[in-house]
Amino acid sequence: MAIVYNDEVSEAVSVEAFSFKNAGPGSALALYDLEVHMGYSAKTSLNDYFSTNYLPGTRELILQRDTINLTAEEGQWCEFQFDTPFDYMPDENTNLILEFSFSNGSTSMHNYIWNTSPADRSVIAYSVEAPIGIPSESMIHLLLTGSSLSFDQESFGRVKILLGN
């Protein structure tokens, strides 16, 4: 689980994918029982109980796969395209949560990490069923991609949010 602050998203957006940058040297990623959720949070630092970090009723399943196989060369972005876009309207009282879980997998891919001190902006658990994880100041570099909600379908807008650079 990771939190994106509202001031890191410049406008209302329909988030359609997220990516992390492959730090190398491998290029293959296989994940099983993958689920990705997004939602809103009033917090700026996450606690160890995953569910309590969300504002009630905002957690949405946006990607689900029994198996997913992705590739990205070193230094390239590994993208997860959502089944269902997540509409995010940033305001001064809410932040965006991205929750990423899988039961098993194999990878030779690594990802870039940045330090979010003094805030715990991620929570990590080593079991999909675990309701509690370990808050951390280490967070992966994320790229969120989506279309701006202020544009109509004919004038597709791209919004990219680079975190950790």
**pLDDT classification of 17: cutoffs 50, 70, 90:** very high
* pTM over cut 0.75: yes
Q: Does the pLDDT of residue 134 top 50, yes or no?
A: yes
Q: Are 111 and 21 in contact (CB under 8 A)?
A: yes
What would the two tokens of residue 46 be?
A: 């996450």
Mean pLDDT value across residues 72-80: 94
- pLDDT for 128 beyond 50: yes
Dist. CA 95–CA 88, nearest whole Å: 9
- Between CA 90 and CA 150 the distance in angstroms is 13
Tell me the C-alpha distance between 20 and 75, whole Å: 10
- Choose between 112 and 161: higher pLDDT: 112
pLDDT at 129: 87
What does the pLDDT average to over 34-45?
97
Mean pLDDT lowest among 22-31, 110-119, 153-162: 153-162
User: DSSP characters for 33-45?
Assistant: EEEEEEEEES-SS
Bridging pattern class, strands 138-140 and 60-71: unpaired
